[in-house]
Structure 1
């Protein structure tokens, strides 16, 4: 795995307030602006220094990773609100013609943002995103795990899961991060990879993750509105990603896209931009150069 860094690029940091939430952002690199949805702490650690030579990476908190002045109910985490927050940050920074990037379930936010605000988006990039969080795709993922995974990887996952209940009970406010760490054998090409440093200093709002991941993303039908989306989409998947449904699950959805490019990375799990950064960068930049937004 290549280890990314950002020492060669100065970092601009700031905050945009939305209601009771402070949405932090970090900006690094030069070139075309690319908004990365999720955590302004976690995601800069997953993209390479080389990519920052070609793209101006704007990593932005959504409300699940943002600090809030008060405890917020589930009604503060609707899809429309989360999308409006991204637009608020874009307007604050004065960005136009952006690339919108979402990793894992944040790929849904990237796609839905492009549907709602297409005038400002030139390209959509989804990384490690399954077609849905539905029960059917969850079962497909479990079937893939049962049938395609070696005993050693399964044994590593079983050992880690034995630790999960005690760790969650000790720090329930961090259960999302704890879960992600203990699902390492499902997440990484190298099942022994320790992602602790990636999550260091990351704040989470569990109400958001429980509601959005448990209900909003579960019920989301990404095919709605795709017939009107005239923006190219790049979908990057890892062959060893056992957190979401396998890339083959996207087959029935392909015809709904006007311009979809799928790239499967052979030595990656859930995070190919980190696990195969050199190849990921090359594929992404080549695709960006080959796809011009339709007028």
Structure 2
């Protein structure tokens, strides 16, 4: 089974496609305008979806992990990406700006508290938001945990993952002269922010391709060729956050502050063969978080679209809806 067939088979576990009942741009007052949409039941249990990257965007498929009769689903494109403006901008774009954006969205929509649902970088942001505003979080549902530590960056950009995927690693590494290969994040940073849009886009596509090549356990090692605008926003923002260590005060900040999540229930859905965010971090987090249920998914990698991961996430959200007395599970 190749990557694309794996993605197709995940669809069988999702709810039918749904359109938003609300779409808006929220002006944050500092030059950034954030795209926000709502779908599902306007009176349902609120859940906010935090996409990955940094620099990805929300997609219509992300609406489909939730019973639309039970949930009021809020999705937004984080600063600098997707439909938010300005596109690919790193000015005024830090983790703490994103935490404030979530609060601004919550207040604008009149929501007291919500379930936070996030994967990869979205899991990182979910954890940081939960630590910062535990009173606003009913539950955390996380996928493909990334803790924004130097060890994780070293694994993915320092050759660890390349031991398993030497062909795409060589393509990614060899874009950079040999004398700069000791710090590929810094080397790519110089090119992603060169001021030459053509050069930035070329290196952005290489950056995105390396990550895409490893996202699925079904991958054949080809990362594809992402559209230029998307790749440029994705790579610039991701690199900007990584160069700045996620704008956290110290390495290991999340684990060092995990006690603030003690009263918040959490579920982690983690691919056993996740090459981008190795399972060790999810396990460490679960060990330190008393009310956390870690679910390792065999034969699954990192991507949200992995069949086993999609099936488990829908199962988790259906179970929460049933526990809340909102709905019987959608007939399958």
TM-score (norm 1): 0.76
Q: Secondary structure at the match of 1:187?
A: coil
Matching of residue 280 in structure 1 with residue 313 in structure 2: yes
Q: How many residues align?
A: 283
Deviation of 1:117 (Å): 1.9
* Structure 2 counterparts to residues 232-247 of structure 1, below 5 A: 232-244=265-277, 246-247=278-279
Note the aligned Cα RMSD (angstroms). Answer: 3.9
Instruction: Give the equivalent residue in structure 2 for 1:13.
Output: 23
The residue that corresponds to 1:221 in the other structure is 253
Distance in 1 (CA, whole Å) between partners of 2:226 and 2:74 is 17
**Equivalent residues of 2:211, 2:223 under 8 A apart:** no
In 2 relative to 1, CA 157–237 (structure 1 residues): closer, same or farther, beyond 3 Å?
A: same
Counterpart secondary structure, 1:227? helix
Task: Provide structure 2 residue ranges, at least 5 long, that are not aligned to the other structure.
Answer: 1-5, 177-187, 326-332
Checking the alignment, whether the CA contact within 8 Å between 1:48 and 1:273 is kept in structure 2 is no
Q: Distance in 1 between matches of 2:259 and 2:266?
A: 13
2:94 corresponds to which of 50, 59, 78? 78
- Which deviates the most, 275-284 or 82-91? 275-284
For the pair 1:42 / 2:75, whether they are aligned, the reply is no
Aligned to 2:328: none
Contact 1:174–1:204 under 8 Å retained in 2: no
Residue 43 of structure 1 aligns to a residue whose secondary structure is: coil
After superposition, the Cα gap between the structure-2 partners of 1:200 and 1:6, relative to the gap in structure 1 and judged at 3 Å, is farther
Indicate yes or no: 2:298 matched with 1:263: no
Shift of 1:200: 8.7
8 A contact 1:42–1:199 mirrored in 2: no
What residue in structure 1 maps to residue 105 of structure 2?
A: 89
Q: Is the 8 A contact 2:140 2:267 kept in 1?
A: yes
Are the structure 2 counterparts of residues 176 and 280 from structure 1 closer, same or farther at C-alpha, using a change threshold of 3 Å? farther
Q: Report the CA distance between 1:144 and its aligned residue.
A: 6.4
Where 2:244 maps in the other structure, the secondary structure is helix
Q: 1:137 to 1:196 in 2, by over 3 A?
A: closer
**In structure 2, C-alpha distance between the alignment counterparts of 1:45 and 1:225, rounded to whole Å:** 33
CA distance in 2 between partners of 1:225 and 1:288 (Å): 29
**Residues 196 and 173 from structure 1, CA distance in 2 versus in 1: closer, same or farther, beyond 3 angstroms?**
same
CA distance in 1, matches of 2:16, 2:320: 26
SS at match of 2:36: strand
Cα distance change of structure 1 residues 89 and 174 upon mapping to structure 2, 3 Å threshold:
farther
Structure-2-length-normalised TM-score = 0.69
Whether the 8 Å contact between 2:88 and 2:234 is mirrored in structure 1 is no
Counterparts of 1:164-203 in structure 2, within 5 Å, are 170-173=198-201, 175-176=203-204, 178-192=206-220, 202=230
Q: Which residue of 1 aligns with 2:179?
A: none
Would the alpha carbon gap of residues 215 and 3 (structure 1) be closer, same or farther in structure 2, given more than 3 Å must change?
same
Q: Superposition pairs for residues 26-175 of structure 1, below 5 Å?
A: 26-30=37-41, 31-38=44-51, 42-47=57-62, 49=64, 51-53=66-68, 54-65=70-81, 66-68=84-86, 73=91, 76-134=92-150, 136-139=151-154, 145=161, 149=164, 154=165, 156-158=167-169, 161=172, 170-173=198-201, 175=203
For the Cα contact (< 8 Å) 1:64–1:209, is it kept in 2?
no
**Which secondary structure state, in structure 1, belongs to the residue aligned with residue 107 of structure 2?**
helix
Q: Aligned partners of 2:289, 2:321: CA distance in 1, in Å?
A: 17
Deviation at 1:204, TM superposition (A): 2.0
Shift of 1:69: 8.7
Is the CA contact 1:46–1:273 (under 8 Å) kept in the aligned structure 2?
no
